[in-house]
Amino acid sequence: METQGWVAVSFVLGAAVAVIVALVFRSRANKRWKTTLEERENAAEAERKALAAGAERAHAAFDERQRELVRTTEARLEQLARAHDEELQRRQLVLERHQQQARRSLEYELISRAAILQSCATLGLDGVLATNTCILVEEGLSTNRYVMQIDHVLITTAGALIVEHKRWRGTIFDGIRPSAASASYKNLIDDSRLDPPFAVQIAPRGGPFRGSEEEAGGLAVRTHLGSKSPRKQVRAQAVHLSEHLDEQLGGAPWIDTCVFYSSSDATVFTETRTGTTPEDQTAVVAGEREFLDLLVLRERTKRERLDRDLVERIAALLHTGGAKIDSFGAFSHGPAAILASQIDPPMDTPAAPAMADAPLG
């Protein structure tokens, strides 16, 4: 009996010890858990603060980039605005220069147009004059295009004649070296390297021009070489006009070419005078008297005559290219006369004598 009591007491004590041990372990576990939780909370708070600080830095950097972008954009816009204004001013100057050139060109065309019509009226010719014809030229690739402008195309039954008009003043050497005309020009210009085709103009300085210029005292020496020379230009016009007529009309007549220096203030030296050049060369004439002689020579040339229908069709085609049409003689009545009555573009010059039926406005 006494033994059973000690067993029970021992059991109770053992159970109590076990409970105490369990409570101790549980308390320690709770402490470790709380410590771990606090550490995690501290780590999370530190991470949050680090993220917040990083976000603030990123936001500050973003704001700075935005401000820098705004500054850069504003500076670029100001630069573009200045460039735009400068380009507008440049284009305005170019436009004004082209307008001045166009006005001068129109004035020159009116002068030569009146002279050509006067010569045709004097000889009593029958035909059509197309002034300021434009042709779209395509060379090589289809993207290589440009517009070729032809001063005058005179079409009579004797054939077609392209007239390249120059209102140059001063002394002009077309195809002949200045030193060959007079030894005194050797001191003014070195012409040893000039090879035809070329044109040299010696005139008082001032005014716009095309070509290269050298100064010699109070004079300007202007050289027009190769493709810039008048004869080269007019031959190129003849080639492209012939191709254009052939393409559009199925054939083209022979096209003569002429450089017409019309200024009374010009003295022209050239080796090619009216009546002295083969058909495949360009005539160079100075003044209305020589141009009249050229027309006389052409009318006397033994060549197949153009029929009226072909002249009318050529006139209609050139009119579609923007040409101002004048008809005279037997062509004062008919389709060409109708085209001549259309003011496109307006060119107001006095009517030439014996041209009563040929609208010139």
Model confidence over 102-123: pLDDT tens digits?
555 666 678 889 999 999 999 9
Q: Which two tokens stand for residue 208?
A: 């716009």
Percent of the chain with pLDDT over 70: 80
Rounded CA-CA distance 27/316 in Å is 116
Task: Please classify residue 249 by burial: count the beta carbons closer than 10 Å to its beta carbon, then call 0-12 exposed, 13-18 middle and 19+ buried.
Answer: middle
Q: For the residues 59-81, what does the mean pLDDT come to? A: 88
Task: Give pTM, 2 decimals.
Answer: 0.64
pLDDT, residue 130, reads: 93
Residues 6 or more apart whose CB falls under 8 angstroms from that of 204 comprise 170, 218, 219, 220
pLDDT of 157 over the 60 cut: yes
Model confidence pLDDT, tens digit, residues 263-275: 888 889 887 554 4
Q: Which two tokens stand for residue 38?
A: 């606090």
Where does 244-332 show beta strands of DSSP type E? 255-261, 266-270, 283-286, 324-328
**Residue 214: in which H helix or E strand, if any?**
strand 212-216
Nearest to 224 by CA among 272, 172, 184, 183: 172
pLDDT of 344 over the 80 cut: no
3-state secondary structure of 299: helix
pLDDT, residue 272, reads: 59
Sheet holding 198-204, edge to edge: 212-216, 219-225, 198-204, 170-174, 266-270
pLDDT of 313 over the 90 cut: yes
pLDDT, residue 345, reads: 45
Q: For the residues 161-177, what does the mean pLDDT come to? A: 90
Rounded CA-CA distance 331/341 in Å is 13
Rounded CA-CA distance 69/62 in Å is 10
Model confidence pLDDT, tens digit, residues 14-47: 777 777 877 777 777 777 787 888 888 888 888 8
pLDDT, residue 218, reads: 67
Q: For the residues 151-179, what does the mean pLDDT come to? A: 91
If you average pLDDT over every residue of the chain, what do you get? 79
Rounded CA-CA distance 324/327 in Å is 10
Nearest to 229 by CA among 259, 193, 274, 268: 259
pLDDT of 337 over the 80 cut: no
Taking only Cα atoms into account, the Rg of the chain, rounded to an integer number of angstroms, comes to: 47
Q: For the residues 69-81, what does the mean pLDDT come to? A: 89
pLDDT of 177 over the 60 cut: yes
The amino acid at residue 7 is V
Q: Which two tokens stand for residue 274?
A: 């009216």
